[in-house]
Chain A
Amino acid sequence: MITEIRDQSAEGAGLRREDFAIVLDNVKKNFDVKGRKAPVRALRGVYASIERGTMIAIKGDSGSGKTTLLQMMGALDTPTSGSVIVNGEDLSELPEESLTRYRAKTVGFVFQSFNLIPNLSALENVELAMEALNVPKSERRVRAGELLRAVGMEDRMDHKPSKLSGGEQQRVAIARALANDPSIILADEPTGNLDTKTGKAIIELLRQLRKERGKTVLIVTHSNRAAKACDKMITIKDGVLASEQTRTMIDHDRGLKSTMREVFEVSGKVISKLFDADYTDFETIANANENDLVRVLGDKGLARKIMARARTAQDEIDAEDDSDEDDEDKEEGSCPEEEGGSYPEE
């Protein structure tokens, strides 16, 4: 899988690394943990190329390394080995002062827990980001006001974070992330602490940033809904990129999942379990080992029911395919075998 992903990376596509917003080249990260001799290998060699102006979801189980990966891209941490190349510059080659400027100017962070400074107002929190770049006070105030208006917080500018709802705090955090007009927005579980409706609104806001301001947006998320809103979804499993799906593929999966829910008459949760275990089509499920499927679903009756329905569905698909082939043959009007001929030699 890594090789496949690597083939899709900058070199594989015959493109230069400067052509991408971010290029990850064999990024590895180990953490030393007290009481353990061997370090924890959070990232085991990640390759990826992220195009400018795209919105990417990074999915994966807890502890899979997705947040660590985001932190590498934001220069909040350094890889143990490998390179994170942003706009053609290898972050590992930059001195600390340049990294500080990179964090202030090139990337904007949105965190799950908002990370606003509690004793500063919404306006002051947004201004704070500009203070890092020594933007004059009057300019800071005007721009912070504009950004808060843009995220719909014009009436709550003077409120402290404790007086704001989760969704409002996240809007302030997004305004703060945009304060220095960065080209890349890195959002770590931006909807993790929000209800569904508010989460949807925040994702929509991030989509707007991508669409209207041309920002490259990377979102670490557990939420399928958030992932589906993105142009591309990459999945991290055990510290490596396990899969990469384009929007079309995501839409395809979405359609397939919807069909499976109807056919199996089960909840979306059951479908997610099947997909997570790589049971992503009727044929695989129909031919699966029953015990394996029981292990995945945790319910023998349910596993049997699903297998039976998958077989039926697959049979119907096969029958349809046969009938389609017959029709095609008829339309072509000649069948070499029937005519005693043979397939033409290539």
Chain B
Amino acid sequence: MTDETNDCIIFEDVSKFYGEVLGVNRVTLSLPAGVTSLVGPNGSGKTTLMNVMTGLIRPTRGRVSVLGMTPDDPVEFFQAVGYCTQFDSFPRSVTGWQFIYETLMLHGVTRAQAHQLTGEALERVGMIEPAHRQIAGYSKGMRQKIRLAQAIAHHPKVLVLDEPLNGLDPMARAESIALFESLGKQGMYVVISSHILEEVDRISDRVVLMTSGYVVAEGNIHSVRQEVREQPMQILIRCSQPALLASRVFAMDHAVEAKLHGDGRGVLVRTRDVDAFYMLLNRIASEGLVSIEAVAPADDDVNSIYQYLIGWDGGPA
């Protein structure tokens, strides 16, 4: 067992077919610690990949290992992994508290530990107050939170979240995203799937873009954008003389477009050669004709990349 195997979530040539229907095909990935987002429209294979990873379904071909473990040894595996599925159903007649407490008892902890961990998890998702009510009476957002609490209650190293923002109000979404971000920063392996690209984009260390069961791109969000060379890159430059800058940019062959920003204090440039553009910008700045205040890529978000790669606009499919 290599160090990399023990430190990463590894998919080796994983395929899953449901009869003749393709779930995922030939997926090979190595996910290190931090927040990884699986992005793609419905039916792209995100949930299948998560279910294969956690042993809920078996791959037709290939193998998966999570920090060197496989779901074939569930006792060891699920001490380290928590999975918040998108199945919105629960065991009958349980309260939120019982749901988490009893799962913890299956981990072999003492009653006192289970009690303490249950309280901690419920507090973390803001569900202390309704915890002793039956889950059947919860709203969709509350059910989502209680599933999340159950997934994190045993302090897993790996947290798998399938559409964890569904059903949450804006405040709860912001809190959840902050929670995922903090878990990622603590060194946890957080794997999130979501339709809401702009929200997961902000906290993702890397993205895996999927469509029709295939991984179309993966890696750090900025490096993935760099790889999409055939698409002109958009850059917003905040400067003292936007019109002058726009005219200089237009003179370059690689410039596709240069337009003044709506507020009149910047230029939005589309270029086919970002390196040449930055060299030009350095020259202009050193000449002292234009004072550059800020330079920022305007389309290296998941949404734009996805649109370039498969023509999907990132909205719910």
Mutual binders A and B = no
Residues of B within 8 A of A (CB): none
